[in-house]
Amino acid sequence: MFRRFGIIIIAVICIGGAVRGQSLDRVIAVINDDVITHLELENRLTSLDAEIKSQGGDAPPRDELRRQMLQQMINDKLQLQAAKRLGLSVDEKAIDDAVQNVARNNRLTLSQLREALASEGISYGLFRESIKTQMLINQIYTRHIRNRIVVTEEELDGFIASGGGRADAREYDVSHILVRVAENAGPELTDIARDKAKSVVSSLQRGMEFAEAAKKYSDAPDASEGGRLGWRTPEELPELFTEALSRIDIGSSTNVLQSPNGFHILHINDAKGSNQSAVTQTNVRHILIKTDEFLSQSEAEHRAEQLRERVLNGESFPDLARVHSDDPISAAKGGDLGWVMPGELTGSFEDAMSKLKAGEVSEPVFSPFGFHLIQVLDRRQQNMGEEVTRGRARAQLVAQKSEERYESWLKRMRDESYVEILDDNLEL
């Protein structure tokens, strides 16, 4: 059941779970003005135990699992604190819509979803809270990380010359092992970690299952899941990973790869897709109503609904976009975003756009930027050429640079925050 819920269940596993039994609670970590308690950690571990049991897997050593979970909890706390400082929020209706989407995507009614969660010992209230947490983190990533990435033409030229931007529509089902290296580790500790990673590769070559090795040796938060990252396009992976995966076959593992975080080993469980000679481009325009500390999500949605009614009653979409849209670049052009390719726009926007007929105006569509009214003007098939290659290359570079900046931001935030582990057995 957990697997069917996809990425959202990762947050649920980290937050959900009923307390079984009674014990004296105590603070085990302090993160600025917030704390993590022993019972909070045990709640998450209880939920994770249910996930591992449902898949028939073997859990890694308990102490290691506790440390991994505590690391993830600390990162979540820091990001939620950052969201509060940035004035980000998620209202109840947006959470309701997200819950409905989870149920719909898993072909369940809302009551069936509640029953499925309860059968796994997960509180529905905590499930909603986990979705809210994930939505806030997504807002931080999109607005304050990805949306601020700049890719120069010179960078594009160099990236394309090195093979980037290829018209490869392959997707990889990837698993991952991380042997972490502390940021300030010296050569001796780095060598120890490298030797550990090499020994894992040797174990794999002797026939050890990758999932088993991940559970036993990986320091990544997904270790208990067998290191499973799921289906990823090349654009969604760091360049280091993409290049390594392109050189191995399905069912194979890479050699040891080094990054600032430590040493990685990747495994391709499956792959799909192939090269394509043409893509469908969409000529689209939009009106954006942003949400912020002065305009709630419900107010922004209501404003977007009013604008939609005005369009349907005959007012000019471009004129309304010029006056009301919070996207200054497209607003100056009557909301026109030009011809866009698959993968260039945020997921919820692209999903809604793909269902519209030419001339049709969408209902308000929520994304990390706010609420959009979308109108498709036309569609066309475009042969793969230099323009498409550069578009793909730009998307790949933005994704890679976003991931690198996000990791650096998390490390910097951790370094600049007061974090104290009060349990000697949980030191990271």
Q: Under DSSP, is residue 50 helix (H, G, I), strand (E, B) or coil?
A: helix
Residue-wise pLDDT for 325-370, tens only, equals 999 999 999 999 999 887 778 778 988 898 899 999 999 998 888 8
Residues 6+ apart with CB under 8 A from 397: 151, 155, 156, 159, 164
Which secondary-structure segment (H or E) carries 270?
strand 262-272
For residues 18 and 123, what is the distance between their CA atoms, to the nearest angstrom?
A: 7
Return the pLDDT at 59: 66
Return the pLDDT at 116: 85
Q: If you average pLDDT over residues 257-267, what whole number do you get? A: 89
Q: Return the closest-CA partner of residue 50 out of 122, 128, 134, 106.
A: 122
In angstroms, what CA-CA distances link 378 with 59, 182, 282, 344, 351?
52, 52, 6, 17, 16
Q: Choose between 243 and 197: higher pLDDT.
A: 197
Q: If you average pLDDT over residues 249-260, what whole number do you get? A: 88
Q: Which of 15-29, 180-194, 308-322 has the lowest mean pLDDT?
A: 15-29
Q: Return the closest-CA partner of residue 143 out of 290, 341, 284.
A: 290
Would you call 290 exposed, middle or buried from its count of C-beta atoms within 10 A (0-12, 13-18, 19+)?
middle
Q: If you average pLDDT over residues 9-26, what whole number do you get? A: 45
Hey, which of 147-151, 250-254, 315-319 has the most confident mean pLDDT?
315-319
Would you state the structure tokens that stand for residue 243, as one six-digit string? 């290049």
Q: Under DSSP, is residue 26 helix (H, G, I), strand (E, B) or coil?
A: coil
Residue-wise pLDDT for 397-425, tens only, equals 888 888 889 989 999 999 999 999 998 77
- What pTM was computed for the model? 0.51
Q: Choose between 263 and 247: higher pLDDT.
A: 263
DSSP letter for each residue of 104-169:
HHTT--HHHHHHHHHHTT--HHHHHHHHHHHHHHHHIIIIIIGGG----HHHHHHHHHTTTT--B-
Query: Angle at the Cα of 423 (from 418 to 428), degrees rounded to 5?
Result: 65
Residue-wise pLDDT for 53-109, tens only, equals 655 566 677 788 888 889 888 999 999 999 999 888 888 888 888 888 788 767 788
Supply the CATH classification number for the domain 3-148.
1.10.4030.10
Q: Report the sign of the C-alpha dihedral through residues 311, 313, 319, 320, in that order.
A: negative
Return the pLDDT at 14: 38
State the fold for domain 278-383: Chitinase A; domain 3 (3.10.50)
The CA dihedral of 159, 160, 164, 167, to the nearest 10 degrees, is 160
Select 170-273's CATH number: 1.25.40.10, 3.10.50.40, 2.30.30.40, 3.40.50.2300.
3.10.50.40
Q: Return the closest-CA partner of residue 52 out of 230, 224, 227.
A: 224
For residues 258 and 260, what is the distance between their CA atoms, to the nearest angstrom?
A: 7
In angstroms, what CA-CA distances link 194 with 259, 312, 318?
11, 62, 58
Query: Where does CATH 3.10.50.40 sit in the chain?
Result: 170-273, 278-383
Question: Does the pLDDT at position 3 exceed 70?
Answer: no
Q: How many CB atoms lie within 10 A of CB 379?
A: 17
Q: Is residue 365 within 8 Å of residue 348, measured between CB atoms?
A: yes
For residues 102 and 108, what is the distance between their CA atoms, to the nearest angstrom?
A: 8
Return the pLDDT at 118: 85
- The β-bridge partners of 178 are 264
Q: Choose between 246 and 27: higher pLDDT.
A: 27
For residues 428 and 413, what is the distance between their CA atoms, to the nearest angstrom?
A: 16
For residues 330 and 297, what is the distance between their CA atoms, to the nearest angstrom?
A: 22
Query: Where does CATH 1.10.4030.10 sit in the chain?
Result: 3-148
Q: Is residue 124 within 8 Å of residue 117, measured between CB atoms?
A: yes
Strands 370-383 and 278-290: antiparallel
pLDDT, the chain, mean: 82
Which secondary-structure segment (H or E) carries 235?
none
For residues 219 and 60, what is the distance between their CA atoms, to the nearest angstrom?
A: 10
- The β-bridge partners of 338 are 284
Q: Which of 111-120, 318-327, 378-387 has the lowest mean pLDDT?
A: 378-387
Which secondary-structure segment (H or E) carries 256?
none
Which residue, chain included where needed, has tokens 């909301």? 335
For residues 364 and 300, what is the distance between their CA atoms, to the nearest angstrom?
A: 9
pLDDT band at 246 (very low <50, low <70, confident <90, very high): confident
